Each structure stands twice: as structure tokens, then as C-alpha cells.
Amino acid sequence: MATHQMPQNLISNSNADNLRNWLPEITNLVRSKLLLDMAAADAEALARNPALLDETIAYFGELLPAVYEMNIPRALTHEFASLRYTLGKRGYSDSFFAKFLQAWIIGINSTLEPTVTQEITPWLNQLLGRLPYLSAAACPVFDPLSTEQNAFLEFLLAREKQKAKDYLVGMVKPGRIPLAIVEQVMVPALCRVGLLWQEGSITVADEHAATNICRYLAYSLLDLMPQKKRRNQSAFLCCVPGEEHDLALEILAGALERNGWRVSFIGRSTPQPDLVKAIKEENPRVIFLSVTLVTHLPAAKDLIVELKLQNPNSAVVLGGFGVLFARDSFTDVTQIANQLSDGLAFAQKLEKEHA
Ligand code: B12
């Protein structure tokens, strides 16, 4: 249906940069306008959680230049729907979200030159026009959890670390390797933890506790993998700059170590120059990168350009939720991986080539 399609006009990089440079002014305007126009119910929701609105404005402000730079209008719709779901669950009314988009359009129009705004505002106007159709899509659709996933989730939420460990470890058997249990049970349960946080059913503290238990359990499972003899293979694993979701890479690093690889796991949010320097010095066989948030896709692109120049002989494997929106922008990587097992399979393929 025509109304459901976002315009596919390419935004020039200089205009995405223009938007980025003027963000402090634009976000101030957005904030003032929203506070002025807010309905009473929304003001009550704001009073209950004063930080959330500022966080949302800041996140949307990072999101806009990122989706323009990567030319991914679908991601703008997805992320907006996700923000709307989170705020909606905290009492913001339907009319607030139209005001939110209008405030951005006004903020951009009154700050940037018309030559810039005419490229930038069509996506926001289109999103505004689509708002009535978005309400049904705004609720994230999740497959129901299996009995196994549900039982594990209950242990996580109750912070029953030992019971959660016994439960997961008890699942290991021939034909069901530890990494499969991480993917089949732990990852869906953590996804549900994220959704429960979004819905306001659990707190950030609950989410952190669940993640930390999962980190511990991941090592317990990895310890059950046979330790293979040391190979002449090295891997460097890091999140792209700004990205803090590093648990997937930490688990992959552990699995590679069990496979005999020499591993540098750097993890979260390291500045690009430091990553580039470390990777140059190590010159690893494979660089595994992760990007969860769409806002960090431009940082992923910049880093990969630099790495291709500097470490032309290293393979680059890129994974994480954010990549799903922008596969076409990463044709220069050796492989895009959806799952941890894809990353391990890639490493095992290299091992065979060098056997
Ligand atoms: C734990 C968690 C955090 C932790 C991360 C801790 C850590 N050290 O990793 C903390 C608290 C830091 C965090 C912060 C934030 N988070 Co968070 N977080 C989560 C949560 C609950 C679980 C993520 C996780 O660890 N999953 C388990 C790991 C093992 O799996 P995975 O990351 O999904 O990766 C899978 C694949 O993508 C793949 N993979 C990933 N990378 C790679 C790389 C390679 C090479 C390979 C081979 C494979 C691969 O492997 C895994 C499965 O096989 C998710 C919920 C969800 N739906 O995922 C939210 C979630 C990702 N977070 C979210 C948000 C919004 C945030 C914050 C912006 C919140 C805030 N307001 O501050 C910040 C952003 C921080 C930043 N700058 O990056 C949103 C993202 C929404 C969106 N639309 O994208 C989610 C979806 C929650 C939600 N429902 O709203 N978060």
C-alpha cells in the first residue's frame, strides 16, 4: 500500500552531518515545544519519570542522522515504533507522538537551511502521516516462549543464579552443544527481559541482574566445551564505537578460546582510534565486530573502512541486531553473521583451510 512506503530519497552525507552538527540547538527547540504543547496526561507521565523524555529526545536525535547517513527509512519506523511503545506503556497519550514528530519538523525547519530541510523532513512527514497505521505495529511481536525458555526466565527474574545454572547445564547432551543452549534459551529469555523492561514490568536493576547472571552462566556453559589444543589462529572481538551490548561477543570470544584460538576480547564502547591502533598491532586473522543499536551503524561503517585499509589481510565478521537493517551497506565485510554459531562456523571453516 502506498501509504505504508517510506520515501527512498538519498540524503547527502553533508546534510546528515549538518543535522548532526545542529543537534544541540534542534533538541533544545524540540524539548521546549513539547513542554509547551503537552496535554495534561502527558505532563503527568513526564512528572512520574522526568529523565525518560530527555533520554528519548537525545536517542531520537542520534537516530536521525544515523538513518539518513545509512539511508534506512525502515529503521526509522522501527525505532520510532519502539520508542512509542516504551513511552506509551509509561502513560504518554497517542496524541503525544504526533506532537513529538511535529516538534522535530519545526525544530529542523527553524534551524537548518531550506536546501537541507527539504531533504530531511520528508521522512518525518511520512512517519507522521503513517502514525494511525503504526499503532497496531507499535507492539513488538514476539514468538511465545517455549516451556524451557519460560522456566529459565523465571529463574532469571527471581535472581536464582544456582537454579538457573543447574537448569541450563542439565540441558547439555550429545547433539546439543553449549552454544546452542545460549542461542535457544538464554538469548530469547534476555530478549523477553528487554521487552518486560520496555513495558515497565521490571526495572533497570532487574534487567542488569538478569544480564549479569547470564554472563556467569555463559562461562559455566563454555567450560563444558572441550578445550582444544592451541592453534595458530587469532581473533579480535570488539563492539563498534559507542556500542555497549557486548555480551554476544564475550560469549563468542569464550567459544573461540575453547577452540584453541588466541583471542583479544575488547568488548564495549572503545574509541575508534584506540581500536584501530590495537588491531594494527595485533593484525588478527579475524576481526569480529558487533553493533546492536541502529544509531551506531555509521560508526561501524567508518571503522570498517579504516580496518580494510589498515588490515587488508584480516577477515571482518560483523554481527548484531543493527546490521539487519543495513546489510547492503556492509558489502565490504567478509561475512555478516546473524547468530553466534555463524561466527563460530566461520572460524571453524578457517581452521579447516589451515589444517
Ligand atoms: C543486556 C542489555 C543491555 C545491557 C548490555 C550489557 C552488555 N554488556 O552487553 C546495557 C544495560 C548496557 C544496555 C544498554 C542499553 N540498551 Co540494551 N539491552 C539489553 C538486552 C536486555 C539484552 C541484550 C543481550 O545481551 N542479549 C544476549 C546476547 C547474547 O545476544 P544479542 O546481543 O541479541 O546478539 C545475538 C545476535 O545479534 C548475535 N550477535 C550479536 N553481535 C554479534 C557479533 C558477531 C561477530 C556474531 C557472529 C554474532 C553476533 O549473537 C546473539 C545470538 O546468537 C536487550 C534486549 C534484546 N531484545 O536483545 C536490550 C536492548 C538491545 N537495549 C536497548 C536499549 C534501548 C538500550 C539503551 C539505549 C537503554 C538506555 N536508555 O540507556 C542502552 C544503550 C547502550 C549503548 N550505548 O549501547 C533496546 C534496543 C531497542 C532498539 N530498538 O534497538 C533493547 C532491544 C531493549 C528493548 N526492548 O528496548 N542494554
The model's pLDDT over 285-318, given as tens digits with 9 standing for 90+, comes to 999 999 999 999 999 999 999 999 999 999 999 9
**Digit-coded pLDDT (tens) for 253-286:** 999 999 999 999 999 989 999 999 999 999 999 9
What is the value of pTM for the model shown?
Answer: 0.94
DSSP string, 15-68: HHHHHHHTHHHHHHHHHHHHHHH--HHHHHHHHHSHHHHHHHHHHHHHHHHHHH
Protein residue with least CA distance to atom 21, ligand 1: 194
Protein residue with least CA distance to atom 52, ligand 1: 339
Give 161 Cα–ligand 1 centroid separation in angstroms. Answer: 21
DSSP string, 197-234: HHTTSS-HHHHHHHHHHHHHHHHHHHTTS--PPP-S-E
Atom number of ligand 1 nearest to Cα 288: 45
- Give me 92's grid cell: 504518554
Q: Percentage of residues in the chain with pLDDT exceeding 70?
A: 95
**Digit-coded pLDDT (tens) for 234-246:** 999 999 999 999 9
Give 72 Cα–ligand 1 centroid separation in angstroms. Answer: 20
Distance CA 27, CA 344 (A): 42
- Give me 52's grid cell: 525518560
**Digit-coded pLDDT (tens) for 43-64:** 999 999 999 999 999 999 999 9
Give 319 Cα–ligand 1 centroid separation in angstroms. Answer: 12
Q: 255 with 340: CB under 8 angstroms?
A: yes
Angle of the 340-353 helix axis to the 247-258 helix axis, nearest 10 = 30
Q: Which residue from 72, 153, 292, 325 has its CB within 8 A of the most atoms of ligand 1, so it is best to mutate?
A: 292
pLDDT-derived band of residue 228, with 50, 70 and 90 as boundaries? very high
The sheet with strand 286-290 has its strands ordered as 262-267, 234-239, 286-290, 315-319, 335-337
Amino acid in position 287:
I
- Give me 118's grid cell: 527539504
Beta bridge partners of 265: 237
Distance CA 311, CA 304 (A): 10
Ligand 1 pocket member 179 (CB < 6 A): no
Q: What was the pLDDT predicted at 18? A: 87
pLDDT-derived band of residue 3, with 50, 70 and 90 as boundaries? very low
Give 127 Cα–ligand 1 centroid separation in angstroms. Answer: 25
Give 249 Cα–ligand 1 centroid separation in angstroms. Answer: 11
Q: 252 with 288: CB under 8 angstroms?
A: yes
pLDDT-derived band of residue 174, with 50, 70 and 90 as boundaries? confident
Give 90 Cα–ligand 1 centroid separation in angstroms. Answer: 21
pLDDT-derived band of residue 141, with 50, 70 and 90 as boundaries? low
Atom number of ligand 1 nearest to Cα 204: 11
Ligand 1 pocket member 292 (CB < 6 A): yes
Q: 149 with 188: CB under 8 angstroms?
A: yes
